[in-house]
Amino acid sequence: MERRGKKELIEAAAVELFAVKGVAGSTVKDIAAKAGVSEGALYRHYKSKEEMAQILFQAEKNKINGAIFTILSSPGRANEKLRDVVSYIYGEYEKSPYNILFLTTNFHLLNDSLESFSYTENIYDMLIHFLRELFGKYFPEKDPQFTATLMVGIVMEPILFHHYKRLEKRPLEYVDQISGICCQIFGVGNEEF
């Protein structure tokens, strides 16, 4: 078994607590206890719980954004790319459920606080850009924020429902259904891609 350093233990504990209890509901004492380290060990790596939350959120968001960018920028049919994005997100949830839950449950709180960090593009703006690229003439320009919100909800809610035991099947088992529903929102079938 690989030995993890204190910083990695602290970060894993923080992400899990932030995902389950939120940033406001988690204390430095909780994080240190879960990681099995002293509170001082946490402060050797981060100035505050809030700074840690922002840095961890930023890193996870950049990882997900980068992977989605790579998928959507690759050649292929739009419905296949959309399926690959949904599959990637659900696969990440299977590998590291708390990382995806941390992003999902703290998105609005932390995304707006990242102005002081190097990557400030709002994930919804990025999503709107990619949806326009993906669906072309089918993308509804009247209310792009609503479309992006709807897509995020459709893709992310199965993760939340699974985590809270409202869905028995794993999200990966819904990839085809979810990507099909997303295509239907734009009024296009798989054959049109």
Do 110 and 176 lie in one domain? The reply is yes
Write out the two tokens for 28: 């430095």
Do 59 and 126 lie in one domain? The reply is yes
Do 27 and 1 lie in one domain? The reply is yes
For the chain, the average pLDDT equals 84
Q: Is-contact 123 66, C-beta < 8 A?
A: no
Do 65 and 78 lie in one domain? The reply is yes
Name the domain count of the chain. Answer: 2
Write out the two tokens for 34: 């879960």
Q: Is-contact 78 134, C-beta < 8 A?
A: yes
**Each residue's pLDDT tens digit, 141-172:** 888 888 888 888 899 999 999 999 999 999 99
**In sequence order, which residues have a C-beta less than 8 Å from that of residue 174 and are 6 or more positions away?**
90, 158
pLDDT the model gives residue 1: 34
CATH code of residue 28 = 1.10.10.60
Closest-CA residue to 156 (of 111, 78, 93, 67): 93
CA distance 21 to 27: 10
pLDDT the model gives residue 120: 42
**Each residue's pLDDT tens digit, 58-114:** 899 889 888 988 998 888 888 888 899 999 999 999 999 999 999 888 766 666 554
If DSSP states are collapsed to H, E and C, what string results for 56-67?
Answer: HHHHHHHHHHHH
Do 82 and 146 lie in one domain? The reply is yes
The model's pTM:
0.84
Closest-CA residue to 54 (of 89, 106, 104, 96): 106
DSSP letter at 102 equals H
Q: Report which of residues 69 and 13 the model is more confident about.
A: 13
Domain boundaries, position 39 = 1-46
